[in-house]
Amino acid sequence: MTNLNKTVLAIHAHPDDTEIFCAGTLALLKDKCFKIVIATMTPGGMGGVTQKERETGETRKKEASLAAAVLEAEYYCLEQRDGYVFDNADARIKVTALIRKVKADIVFTHLPFDYHPDHRATSSIVEAGTILATLPNVPTDELPVKTTPLLYYTSPFGFTDNMGGKIPDPSFFIDVTSTFEKKKEMLSFHESQKQVMELMFKMDDFFGDMRDSDKKLGQMAGVKYAEAYWQNTGAGFLKEPLIQEILKDLRRDKK
Ligand SMILES: [Zn+2]
């Protein structure tokens, strides 16, 4: 890509998703002098046990900002409602506006057939918002970007589709063993989620589940801890393997 702005934008549905699914790779890209921007479609207002929706959302946005600060990243919330994320024009325009504002070269989001309905809707919104970012008729205050950002999908928790079925092999894995502690540090700011995970999934070890997931991906890639990525190389996108080249020493294929 010519005129690289060296900016990565990770947009996931809820506060803590980016930390769980791709923070290890974001930390590696930061070390390669990329600017990191983290956004959530929702403030995560349903993820509260002792606080109401609005209060929970405020708490979680603060937690997300603190986690983002570990990578000196900017944090944005696109203020859709947690649990009720729908693909619509307003949401797509908000994504396009943010891509333009931060001049993203690379966008991360959820895989289209992720387990969580909000994640699937986010995937569709972000795909559309990305593909539209160069078009001057899309109404935002920011100028269109010159090149459609590269779009990468992150791994669903459990590495299955929404029915628990098999998903296609990732385009590649990134060995995140060296940045795993940083990822853990970022996740540690999401204090409010420990209670929720216990209530919803009977998870009593918030870090443990992330560790087990990255370990499972690591086993698939032949390293200790890994994150998995699928690049959208469909007709609307450039096919340049940018992350694969930047992090070529840590890029792994399925064993
Ligand atoms: Zn989520």
Poorest-confidence range of 114-118, 138-142, 197-201? Answer: 197-201
Rg (CA), the chain: 17
Six-digit token pair at 185?
A: 């540090």
Q: What is the pTM of this model?
A: 0.95
Give the pLDDT confidence of 16-57 residue by residue, as tens digits. Answer: 999 999 999 999 999 999 999 999 999 999 998 889 999 999
Measured in angstroms, how far is the CA atom of residue 107 from the centroid of ligand 1?
17
Element (H, E) at 75: strand 74-77
Domain residue ranges of the chain, discontinuous segments joined by +: 7-252
Contact 128, 170 (CB under 8 A): no
Cα(1) to ligand 1 centroid in Å equals 31
CA angle 130, 120, 171 (to 5 degrees): 70
95 exposure class (CB count in 10 Å sphere: 0-12, 13-18, 19+): buried
pLDDT for position 41: 98
Are 41 and 122 in contact by the 8 Å Cβ rule? The answer is: yes
Token representation of residue 225: 């801890």
Beta bridge partners of 109: 153
How far is 66 from 70, CA to CA, in rounded Å? 7
* Burial (CB count within 10 angstroms: exposed 0-12, middle 13-18, buried 19+), residue 13: buried
Ligand 1: centre distance to CA 60 (Å): 12
Q: Please give the distance, rounded to the nearest whole angstrom, from the Cα atom of residue 3 to the centre of ligand 1.
A: 33
Amino acid 205: pLDDT: 72
Query: Ligand 1 centroid vs 103 CA: distance in angstroms?
Result: 25
Q: Residue 204 pLDDT more than 80?
A: no
- Model confidence pLDDT, tens digit, residues 68-110: 999 999 999 999 999 999 999 999 999 999 999 999 999 999 9
Q: How far apart are CA 130 and CA 110, in angstroms?
A: 13
Burial class (CB in 10 A: 0-12, 13-18, 19+), 121: buried
Q: How far is the CA of 142 from the centre of ligand 1 (A)?
A: 28
Report pLDDT digits (tens) over 144-193: 999 999 999 999 988 999 999 999 999 999 999 999 999 999 998 998 88
Ligand 1 centroid to Cα of residue 82, in Å, is 9
CA 41 to centroid of ligand 1, rounded, Å: 10
Indicate the pLDDT class of residue 2, thresholds 50, 70 and 90: low
Pair of tokens at residue 97: 């506006």
Domain made up of 7-252: CATH architecture: 3-Layer(aba) Sandwich (3.40)
> Tell me, what's the pLDDT at 62?
97
